[in-house]
Structure 1
Amino acid sequence: MKTGLKVLLFAEACFTIAAGMLGPIYAVFVEEIGGNILDASSAWAVFMLTMGIIVFLIGRWEDKLRHKERMVIIGYVIRAIGYLGYVFVYNQPALLAVQIILGIGGALNIPAYDSMYTKFLDKGKEASEWADWEAMYYIMTAFAAIFGGIVASVFGFRALFLIMFIFSLIGMASSIKLMYLYRKVLGIFKISA
């Protein structure tokens, strides 16, 4: 497995853990800030709709980008800000704002990430190396779900959100190595502005 894939997998594992810690208990948090099931589903719908529309539009633009690693990193930065934003959510409008931020970050990140991941694949190992991504996603989400439930029940949601933010910072920091690795794949050794 190429180093680029390892970096991408590690960075995304950190973000998968961050998101996975909240996923199963999201509705409980929404209820804690005064919302109900409809509020939880509406906030999730806002996230998905934001991400869906922007990813559709941005994906076509990212096809033309030579330096996709920048979009991966920018997307990670925005997602990290979104996870930190949960700390300051005490009502439904603030929750919707965070969901929009996370949707924008994901939409900027995912097409470029998938494109880079595909570029780093070893010929003849496409299925197994995509399986590595899928395995990472499901296993990390499973562990994150348990860990998130424990943290939220023992220390509360604010502590959970700070831990989510820390994991996202680790993932974001590790993705900076992509600036060099992706240029190497493209045959660009001079770092351009």
Structure 2
Amino acid sequence: MNKIIRMLLLTDACFIFAAGLFGPIYAIFVANIGGDLLDAGWAWGAFMLAAGVVVYVLSRWENRFKHYEQLIIGGYAVRSLAIFGYLFVSNPLSLIVVQVVLGLGEAFTLPAYDALFTRSIDKGQEASQWGDWEAMDYIVTAFSAIIGGAIATAFGFKILFISMFGVSLVGLMLSIRLAPQILGRLPRPVPVESGKEK
């Protein structure tokens, strides 16, 4: 397994873990903010619809975009922002807004992530290395579901959301290593020579 595949697995594992902490107890949180099962359905549907529509549109544009790493980092940043937004959710409507933002972040990330992952697979290892991602997804989600339930039970949803945000920030920081050229592309200040008259 090459370095890029390992880094992609590690960064995505952080975001899968963060989301998995909340997934199994999502409906309980909706009830806590005054919603019902229908509200839970609307909020989840808003997330899926936003992600699905924008993925379809962006994936056409991303075919012509050379730096997938930058799109992945941008998408992860939006997802971290959305996770932070859970701390301020107080009613079903605000939850829908956060879910839409989360869906937009996923839409930026997924096509670019899949393209970079596919491009970086070692020759002849397509099945096994995509299998590595699938296995990671299931295993990380399993552990995060248990841990998320324990955190919410012991400390409440606010601590759970702070934990999710912290894990997502770790993933975001790790993802920056995918595109070291970004730092090199930032404009450098031009030195000003003093003491010379024109």
- Same-fold call, TM cutoff 0.5: yes
Aligned to 1:58: 58
Offset of residue 192 of structure 1: 3.6
Q: Which runs of 5+ in 2 are unaligned?
A: 187-198
Offset of residue 120 of structure 1: 0.9
Aligned to 2:38: 38
C-alpha separation in 1, matches of 2:64 and 2:11: 24
Aligned to 2:124: 124
What pairs with 1:3-82 in structure 2 (closer than 5 Å)? 3-82=3-82
2:148 corresponds to 1:148: yes
The structure with the largest alpha-carbon Rg is 2
What pairs with 1:94-133 in structure 2 (closer than 5 Å)? 94-133=94-133
Deviation sequence 1:164-187 (CA, Å, 0-9, x none): 00010000000001103xx7xxxx
Deviation sequence 1:15-43 (CA, Å, 0-9, x none): 00000011111000000000000000110
Aligned to 2:139: 139
The aligned amino acid for 2:133 is: W
Secondary structure of the residue aligned to 2:154 is: helix
C-alpha separation in 1, matches of 2:139 and 2:185: 37
Percent of pairs identical after alignment?
A: 49
The aligned amino acid for 2:81 is: I
C-alpha separation in 2, matches of 1:60 and 1:69: 17
Deviation sequence 1:84-115 (CA, Å, 0-9, x none): 10011010111011001100000000000000
Q: What is the TM-score with the length of structure 1 in the denominator?
A: 0.94
C-alpha separation in 1, matches of 2:80 and 2:143: 20
**Cα root mean square deviation, aligned:** 1.2
After TM superposition, where is structure 1 displaced by more than 4 Å over at least 4 residues in a row?
A: none
Deviation sequence 1:126-168 (CA, Å, 0-9, x none): 1000000000000000000000000001100010000000010
The aligned amino acid for 1:37 is: L
Q: What is the TM-score with the length of structure 2 in the denominator?
A: 0.91
Aligned to 1:88: 88
C-alpha separation in 1, matches of 2:62 and 2:30: 34
Number of residue-to-residue matches in the alignment:
185
Aligned to 1:187: none
Q: Which runs of 5+ in 1 are unaligned?
A: 184-189
